[in-house]
């Protein structure tokens, strides 16, 4: 095990499941102390216990190596508390991973303003706000940010209009912030996964039968012939947070089995 992130402090949103969960475990495995953030308290407590008991002994000789905050990143006071509590508990902040997000279906014809606003609040506004709050602390540590975007930020797909727009906004936010923070030694990157087996689509309202059909079809639309795993995305996020990526900033990094290289079909 390489403890590349020994003595680093990482804040991971959306840490109760999916890519956020896998990322928290991967960063802890690399020696980081991790603050987990999510809206579901029981899964957060479970993953914190797992990291503390299973990962902690191997990865870190500093206790505690994990904590969690049950919060809603779209609430301004919650977001401020998340960053402040992370710094208060661990003394600093080196890494921010914005993995929390949501998806919903809808076209230009039937997406309501309420649905649009809800998705933008989670996927864009909250990400911007946490980046803004974290920036002074990351400037002190020459830290970095990784935003979890999507292949839909790079390519257009019908029926998920607001989601596509939100992820394109995250990509541009990433690039602009990377230029603005480069002089302070803060790197900002994003990862753009294709279809990954998580609870994202189920939580977005997709029925189980439809989801299974979606996964089966997705295996044919990704050139490598399968969907991805949260752990594969977490491995890329880990790389981007590490010193191995010290000369990488402003990148929106595809990890999608080749999906972004294909035309609509």
Measure the CA–CA gap between 50 and 45, rounded to whole angstroms: 9
The residue from 50, 163, 211, 238 that is catalytic is 163
Contact 239/206 with Cβ under 8 angstroms?
Answer: no
Pairing, β 9-13 against β 33-38: parallel
Quote the radius of gyration of the chain (alpha carbons, Å). 18
> Which residue from 200, 228, 252, 255 is spatially nearest to 20, judged by alpha carbons?
200
Q: Would you call 74 helix, strand, or coil by DSSP?
A: coil
Q: What does residue 82 show for φ and ψ, rounded to 5 degrees? A: -60, -50
Residue at token pair 């076209």: 107
Both structure tokens of 225: 């012939």
Q: Would you call 147 helix, strand, or coil by DSSP?
A: strand
Query: Is 163 designated active site?
Result: yes
Catalytic residues: 163
């Amino acid at each position: 095990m390489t403890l590349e992130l020994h003595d680093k402090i990482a804040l991971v949103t959306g840490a109760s499941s999916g890519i956020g969960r896998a990322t928290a475990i991967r960063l802890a495995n690399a020696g980081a102390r991790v603050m987990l953030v999510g809206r579901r308290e029981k899964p957060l407590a479970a993953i914190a216990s797992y990291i503390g008991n299973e990962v902690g002994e191997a990865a870190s000789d500093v206790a505690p190596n994990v904590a969690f905050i049950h919060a809603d990143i779209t609430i301004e006071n919650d977001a401020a508390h998340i960053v402040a509590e992370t710094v208060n508990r661990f003394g600093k902040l080196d890494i921010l991973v914005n993995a929390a997000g949501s998806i919903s279906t809808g076209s230009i014809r039937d997406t309501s303003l309420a649905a649009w606003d809800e998705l933008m609040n989670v996927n864009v506004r909250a990400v911007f706000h946490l980046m803004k709050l974290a920036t002074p602390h990351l400037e002190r540590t020459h830290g970095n940010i990784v935003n979890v975007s999507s292949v839909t930020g790079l390519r257009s797909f019908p029926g998920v209009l607001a989601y596509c727009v939100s992820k394109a906004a995250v990509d541009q936010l990433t690039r602009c912030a990377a230029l603005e923070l480069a002089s302070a030694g803060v790197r900002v990157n994003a990862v753009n996964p294709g279809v990954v087996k998580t609870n994202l689509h189920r939580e977005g309202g997709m029925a189980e039968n439809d989801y299974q059909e979606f996964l089966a079809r997705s295996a044919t639309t990704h050139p490598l012939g399968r969907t991805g795993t949260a752990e594969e995305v977490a491995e890329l996020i880990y790389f981007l947070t590490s010193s191995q990526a010290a000369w990488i900033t402003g990148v929106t990094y595809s990890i999608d089995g080749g999906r972004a290289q294909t035309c609509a079909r």
